[in-house]
């Protein structure tokens, strides 16, 4: 069974995370959750209530990381899903995670990135000269890292597909699933 890796930490956004977590499994891929340590992490819910200009954060579900970043062998995985929320703000400083992310880009394996996940791929310095979608308030993360921000629900550039928020999952997840299946077929050939 082909495996997809999903890095998480406390305050990862629940809907950004849970839909892809289950969606890849529907097509027979194993989703492996990784974190700074192998333990349970608290997710949050992000929304912009009517009349608000900023995001409100509330507690949500939990998700278990079964392997720590330092113990991941990225050669064992066919895809990477970089989810959003506040977790990427501190996860982007983890050297093991950044090395994992670089592997997926160097090997041109399928990558999906949503919302604040851009903070991780930007810190890994893998989006230079790439087009990318993210939540508009993270536009500077893309541009400071040498990328081009595109305010669309699904942006494809090389091995990466990106979306703004979980609202775009119906746009970028079919592309990510197609990329995973095509990569799996090439690998098997």
32/29 Cα distance (integer angstroms): 9
pTM of the model: 0.96
Which residue out of 113, 115, 138, 154 is catalytically annotated? 115
So what's the pLDDT on residue 32? 98
The total domain count for the chain is 1
Q: Is 55 a residue whose pLDDT tops 90? A: no
Predicted confidence band of residue 104 (pLDDT cuts 50, 70, 90): very high
Task: Provide the residue range defining the domain that includes 61.
Answer: 3-188
138/84 Cα distance (integer angstroms): 11
Question: Any idea what the CATH number is for the domain that residue 48 is in?
Answer: 3.40.50.880
Exposed/middle/buried for residue 147 (C-beta within 10 Å: 0-12, 13-18, 19+): buried
Predicted confidence band of residue 4 (pLDDT cuts 50, 70, 90): very high
What percent of the chain has pLDDT above 90? 93
User: Exposed e or buried b for every residue in 156-170, given b needs 16+ CB within 10 A?
Assistant: ebebbbbbbbbebbe
* Phi-psi category of residue 130: left, alpha or beta, with phi > 0 → left and psi -120 to 50 → alpha: beta
Per the structure block, which two tokens stand in for 45?
A: 């819910």
16/29 Cα distance (integer angstroms): 18
Q: Is 71 a residue whose pLDDT tops 90? A: yes
Half-sphere exposure of 51 (CA within 13 A, CB side): 0
Q: Is 54 a residue whose pLDDT tops 90? A: no
138 catalytically annotated: no
104/78 Cα distance (integer angstroms): 8
So what's the pLDDT on residue 128? 98
């Amino acid at each position: 069974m082909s495996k997809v890796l999903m890095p998480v930490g406390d305050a990862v956004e629940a809907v950004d995370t849970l839909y892809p977590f289950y969606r890849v499994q529907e097509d027979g891929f194993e989703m492996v959750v990784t974190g700074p340590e192998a333990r349970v992490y608290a997710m949050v819910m992000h929304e912009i209530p009517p009349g608000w200009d900023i995001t409100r954060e509330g507690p949500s579900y939990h998700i278990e990381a079964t392997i720590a970043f330092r113990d991941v062998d990225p050669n064992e995985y066919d895809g990477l899903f970089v989810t959003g929320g506040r977790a990427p703000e501190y996860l982007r400083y983890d050297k093991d995670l950044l090395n994992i992310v670089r592997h997926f880009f160097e090997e041109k394996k399928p990558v999906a990135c949503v919302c604040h996940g851009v903070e991780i791929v930007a810190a890994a310095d893998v989006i230079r000269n790439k087009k990318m979608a993210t939540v508009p308030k993270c536009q500077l993360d893309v541009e400071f890292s040498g990328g081009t921000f595109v305010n669309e629900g699904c942006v494809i550039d090389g091995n990466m597909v990106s979306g703004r928020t979980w609202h775009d999952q119906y746009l970028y997840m079919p592309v990510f699933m197609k990329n995973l299946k095509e990569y799996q077929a090439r690998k098997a050939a």
